[in-house]
Amino acid sequence: MESYYWLILLAVMIAIEIITLGLTTIWFAVGALAAYVAALIGADIVVQVIVFLAVSLAALFFTRPVAVRYLNNKDRTKTNVDSVLGCTAKVIEKIDNFNAEGKVMLNGMEWMARSENGGVIDVGETVTVKEVSGVKLICDKKAD
């Protein structure tokens, strides 16, 4: 009967991993799978728990650093919103945070923009994208 509990725990851990996508529970899913196998071969519940903890911790300590290094690879190509950070844009409508105005042209696309420091940036100025907040680019005047 304990084997069903390990399967349920395995399913829950995988579901959480799918939702979070942050390598948070996959290690415990591996441990639950090992404990499930231990339950199938008739191991006592204490042995199953020890197998679960040992395999989970081993997976966490030995494979997580490799996975994190692979996922945080600096050479990967940035896509979507990440691709605009640090880019240069041209102001096409005065950026004024107080009046909630401002637009920039970036890669042929018009974006709403706000100033990083709250200052006004005039039309025609060149700005650098510092961050993205919702659908707005947070910009700073480009240093000449």
Q: What is the pLDDT of residues 28-46, one digit of tens each?
A: 999 999 999 999 999 999 9
Q: Is residue 67 domain-shared with residue 102, that is, in the same domain?
A: no
- CB count in 10 Å sphere of residue 36: 21
Mean pLDDT is lowest, of 15-19, 24-28, 45-49, 77-81, for 77-81
Q: Is residue 54 domain-shared with residue 28, that is, in the same domain?
A: yes
Query: Distance between CA 128 and CA 59 in Å, rounded?
Result: 42
Q: Is residue 9 domain-shared with residue 58, that is, in the same domain?
A: yes
What does the pLDDT read at residue 80?
66
Query: Distance between CA 65 and CA 10 in Å, rounded?
Result: 22
Listed residue (98, 107, 123) closest to 141, CA to CA = 123
Query: Domain end: 54, 71, 88, which one?
Result: 71
Domain range holding 107?
A: 80-141
Query: Does the pLDDT value for residue 102 go beyond 90?
Result: yes
Looking at residue 94, which CATH number applies to its domain? 2.40.50.140
The total of structural domains in the chain comes to: 2
What the block records as the tokens of 103 is 């637009």
What does the pLDDT read at residue 76?
61
Query: Does the pLDDT value for residue 2 go beyond 80?
Result: no
Query: Domain end: 71, 98, 123, which one?
Result: 71
